[in-house]
């Protein structure tokens, strides 16, 4: 490799040369696409290593606990660069989501030092944080001796930084001044519509704009398509049923899970507005949802869309993204739309899920683990994942501005960037942060299942749910 | 010279080590007992605490508080009810099917032996894998069972996703997995029964049904009780099939003890409540087992007396 080629790639990694100039220059110097990728990775590594001693923990070995996910795949594909840069050995265990969080709970509750860092969501840290299982990462972020000056923490979108920080007070505002940073955002998802454009054309319908239209459109699709059902949403007896489309729509109507008064929580699921929203949601599932809705997790919702068994989903935008690629039958047929459930709302309010990285309190190699976490959430790795892998949605503002990433999405995923941008300003966690999150959301999902199965009327079911949650809160000293 | 008898010195034997020997020999058994008891006593200890991992400030003894809370909780009684119903139905159906198959395969022929080996296949499948397999087979979009049911004119059968059919579906999976277990034990029992009473009945021309109810069943009852007891202990603690297929739903339809205790610990991190649920499960299992073992002993004594 000549110095001229190396200088060109280093200049690009340092942001001194545009992508267009890089490509033009590389072509002039006779660099192939494969070599260009290698050189780019190596230049990013050198750029990262410029002002920080990445080799301080050389010879250390750390172990990660990972969920089977494209974000983890992107990280693993780039892991050799981290090993080369730091001299830190990395091993990992990967588990499917069905069992992943139980594995994390088992490892942390037993105070095992087996894993140094692991993937988590913000909701989980509401358990792990107060239990003392994860490290407050402010200790690292705010320490210039431990953190790379180029880490650019402020580049991580403010709403995501806030959503992963909590002061541990039930009902306490996320991202408050006294909040602890329990994890570092890595990639996230907003909840919007992904629809099958061919099926929509066939049924002569357009993307619905609010919950009423969604219900009607889904019913028409179910009736007219003669096979696929209209709307895919999750329904398993789990917190995962409540947090995607359901809570995004619920929040759009201004409805809340709790009211907080003088540090005490009170269930707010049985207001008139909440009952009206639930009734529409339940009717929509009964009329046009999957037949075995009560067993539906993220996997089933996505698989049905990709296989052409459903016409539309109201779920994670990245789920819709993945189903438009790979070996899916409906690859290339999917479109995306931002969604505000409330016709009176000005903009969508997607509740977000944030795949994040957390550090185990029981790790004996915390400094090495922090080096890994910085690298995995760095601008450079985010950029690599966004451009070369399926690392949507990146958490860094600078990556969203990258032309190569945007061009790639715009070309193959029509409407994706538009739905993203229309929703991002209103995207955050709409749950009240409190330690009974999983009890509450599982009970909520159970009640939804009973309503859909006509075991209980919506109004009566929500009154019972609120009473039961208030009882639990009192028992735990929170209500 | 006359020899003078010399008194031999009395040998004093130290018997202390011999007295300790039985204790020494039983030490391994004692250690095993302690090993078994440690988790049990730990569960009892935790069940006496208010203890949520994510609310450490609340931790403290509430003695029987977790148990009394359960007694006043309608969800708990639903759990007791569904656990007992699930156990009774699965054990009952598996016993009847296992007995029928065992009777059909009673004669030791080459084909019967081959069939009995083939029938053991479900037992060699992990229940969680079996559940996933059945979940696919009952999928309304492409499941083979859904297709077969639709051929019979039932278009909207929802298997594990409807409260009215969820119990039936998980029982079906349990029966598929564990009927071979019953079959094997009962077949072994049938083949080991003495032949004289059957020969005498045949000579006297006794009707087959009479032979079955008056000779076969009474002689087979120790085997029936043993097989039922083993299955009962398993069924009342069922987790894999129910959790993999429904997570305890729809609603709270299948929220059996193990699923509920698992959720309480792993998702809600409520250690105290989870432990209390498991102690209650142990108590119910103990009472049911006691009933079965008592009957088994009574039958054994009766057979010894008649021998």
Q: How far is A153 from chain B (nearest CA, A)?
A: 28
CA distances from A223 to A226, A331, A429, B82, B146 (A): 6, 24, 35, 38, 21
Report how far apart, in Å, the C-alpha atoms of A427 and of each of A160, A192, A247, A420, A432 are: 9, 11, 12, 10, 15
B251: nearest CB among A128, A131, A446: A446
Check B161 against A105: CB less than 8 A apart. Answer: no
Strand B49-50 versus strand A191-196 pairing type: unpaired
Contact B187, B106 (CB under 8 A): yes
Q: What contacts A318, CB < 8 A, 6 or more positions away?
A: A187, A189, A392, A393
User: Residues of A with CB below 8 A from B252's CB?
Assistant: 446, 450
Pairing of strands A117-120, A61-67: parallel
Q: What is the dihedral of CA A98, A103, A106, A109, to 10 degrees?
A: -100
CA distance B56 to chain A (A): 7
Which of B147, B143, B145, B134 has its CA nearest to residue B173? B134
pLDDT of B1 reads: 45
A459 interfaces chain B, CB cutoff of 8 Å: no
Q: Does the beta-carbon distance from B268 to A477 stay under 8 Å?
A: no
Query: Percent of chain B beyond pLDDT 70?
Result: 93
Smallest Cα–Cα separation from A195: which of A288, A113, A265, A280? A288
Between the two ends of chain B, the Cα-to-Cα distance in Å is 71
Find the CB nearest A127 among B54, B160, B247: B54
Q: What does pTM read for this prediction? A: 0.89
Identify which of A188, A190, A74 has the alpha carbon closest to the alpha carbon of residue A120.
A188
A460 touching B (Cβ < 8 Å):
no
Query: What was the pLDDT predicted at B306?
Result: 58
Which residue does chain A place closest to B56, by CA atoms? A131
Q: What value of ipTM does the predicted structure carry?
A: 0.88
pLDDT of residue B8: 63
Among A295, A299, A477, the residue to mutate for chain B (most B Cβ within 10 A) = A295
Average of per-residue pLDDT across B81-110: 96
Strand A89-95 relative to strand A61-67, pairing: parallel
Q: Which of A291, A294, A438 sits opposite B140 (nearest CB)?
A: A291
Bridge partners of residue A478, in order along the sequence: none
First to last CA, chain A: 67
Interface size A-B, in CB pairs within 8 Å, comes to 96
CA distance B217 to B197: 13
Q: What is the largest CA-CA distance in chain B?
A: 120
Residues of chain A with pLDDT under 50: none
> For B225-275, how does the pLDDT look when each residue is reduced to its tens digit (9 = 90+)?
999 999 999 999 999 999 999 999 999 999 999 999 999 999 999 999 999
User: Of the ranges A48-57, B132-141, B153-162, B236-245, which one carries the lowest mean pLDDT score?
Assistant: A48-57
- Sole residue written with tokens 């297709």: B147
Choose from A449, A450, A456 for mutation: most chain B CBs within 10 A.
A449
Q: What are the tens digits of pLDDT across the range A402-434?
A: 999 999 999 989 899 999 999 999 999 999 999
pLDDT at B189 exceeding the cut of 80: yes
Across all residues in chain B, what is the average pLDDT? Answer: 92
Cβ neighbours of A131 in B, within 8 Å: 53-54, 56, 269
């Amino acid at each position: 490799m000549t110095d001229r080629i190396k200088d060109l790639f280093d200049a690009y990694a340092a942001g001194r040369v545009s992508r267009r100039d890089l490509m033009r220059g590389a072509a002039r110097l006779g660099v192939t696409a494969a070599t260009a990728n290698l050189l780019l990775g190596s230049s990013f590594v050198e750029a990262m290593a410029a002002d920080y001693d990445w080799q301080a923990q050389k010879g250390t070995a750390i172990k990660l606990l990972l969920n089977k996910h494209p974000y983890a795949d992107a990280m693993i594909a780039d892991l050799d660069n981290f090993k080369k840069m730091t001299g830190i050995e990395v091993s990992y265990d990967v588990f499917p989501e069905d069992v992943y969080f139980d594995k994390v709970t088992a490892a942390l509750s037993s105070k095992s030092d087996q894993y140094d860092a692991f993937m988590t969501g913000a909701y989980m840290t509401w358990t792990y944080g107060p239990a003392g299982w994860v490290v407050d990462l402010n200790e690292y972020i705010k320490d210039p001796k431990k953190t790379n000056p180029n880490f650019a923490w402020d580049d991580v979108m403010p709403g995501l930084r806030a959503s992963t920080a909590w002061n541990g007070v039930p009902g306490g505002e996320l991202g408050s001044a006294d909040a602890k940073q329990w994890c570092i955002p890595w990639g996230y998802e907003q909840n919007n519509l992904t629809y099958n454009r061919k099926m929509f054309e066939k049924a002569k319908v357009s993307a619905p704009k609010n919950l009423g239209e969604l219900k009607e459109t889904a019913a028409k699709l179910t009736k007219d398509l003669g096979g696929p059902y209209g709307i895919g949403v999750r329904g398993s007896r789990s917190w995962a049923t409540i947090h995607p489309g359901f809570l995004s729509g619920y929040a759009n109507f201004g409805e809340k899970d709790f009211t907080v008064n003088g540090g005490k929580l009170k269930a707010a699921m049985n207001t008139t507005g909440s009952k009206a929203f639930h009734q529409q949601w339940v009717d929509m599932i009964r009329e046009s949802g999957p037949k075995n809705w009560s067993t539906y997790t993220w996997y089933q919702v996505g698989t049905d869309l990709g296989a052409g068994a459903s016409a539309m989903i109201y779920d994670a935008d990245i789920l819709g993204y993945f189903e438009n690629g790979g070996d899916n039958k409906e690859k290339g047929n999917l479109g995306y739309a931002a969604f505000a459930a409330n016709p009176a709302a000005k903009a969508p309010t997607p509740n977000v899920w944030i795949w994040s990285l957390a550090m185990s309190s029981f790790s004996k190699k915390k400094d090495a683990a922090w080096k890994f976490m910085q690298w995995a959430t760095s601008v450079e790795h985010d950029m690599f994942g966004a451009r070369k892998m399926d690392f949507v949605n990146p958490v860094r503002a600078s990556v969203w501005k990258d032309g190569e990433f945007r061009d790639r999405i715009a070309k193959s995923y029509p409407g994706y960037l538009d739905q993203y941008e229309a929703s991002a300003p209103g995207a955050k966690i709409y749950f009240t942060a409190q330690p009974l999150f999983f009890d509450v959301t599982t009970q909520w999902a159970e009640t939804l299942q009973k309503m859909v199965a006509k075991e209980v009327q919506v109004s009566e079911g929500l009154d019972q749910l609120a009473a039961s949650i208030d009882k639990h809160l009192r028992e735990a000293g929170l209500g | 010279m006359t020899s003078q008898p010399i008194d031999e010195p009395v040998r004093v034997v130290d018997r202390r080590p011999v007295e300790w020997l039985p204790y020494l020999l039983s030490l391994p058994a004692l250690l095993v007992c302690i090993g078994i008891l440690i988790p049990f006593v730990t569960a009892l200890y935790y069940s006496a605490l208010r203890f949520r991992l994510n609310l450490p400030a609340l931790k403290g003894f509430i003695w029987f508080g977790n148990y009394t809370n359960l007694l006043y909780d309608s969800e708990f009684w639903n759990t007791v009810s569904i656990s007992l119903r699930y156990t009774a139905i699965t054990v009952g159906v598996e016993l009847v099917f296992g007995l029928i198959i065992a009777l059909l395969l009673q004669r030791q022929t080459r084909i019967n032996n081959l069939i009995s080996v083939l029938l053991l296949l479900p037992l060699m499948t992990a229940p969680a894998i079996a559940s996933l397999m059945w979940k696919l087979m009952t999928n309304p979009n492409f499941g083979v069972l859904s297709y077969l049911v639709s051929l019979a004119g039932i278009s909207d059968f929802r298997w594990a996703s409807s409260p009215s059919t969820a119990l039936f579906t998980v029982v079906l999976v349990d029966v598929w997995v564990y009927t071979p277990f019953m079959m094997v034990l009962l077949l072994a029992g049938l083949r080991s029964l003495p032949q004289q009473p059957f020969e005498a009945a045949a000579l006297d021309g006794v009707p087959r049904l009479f032979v079955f109810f008056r000779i076969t069943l009474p002689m087979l009852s120790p085997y029936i009780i043993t097989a039922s007891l083993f299955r009962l202990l398993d069924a009342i603690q069922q987790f894999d099939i129910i959790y993999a297929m429904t997570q305890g739903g729809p609603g709270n339809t299948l929220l059996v003890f193990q699923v509920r205790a698992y959720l309480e610990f792993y998702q809600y991190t409520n250690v105290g409540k989870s432990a209390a649920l498991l102690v209650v499960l142990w108590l119910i299992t103990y009472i049911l087992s006691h009933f079965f073992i008592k009957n088994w002993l009574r039958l054994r004594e009766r057979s010894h007396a008649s021998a």
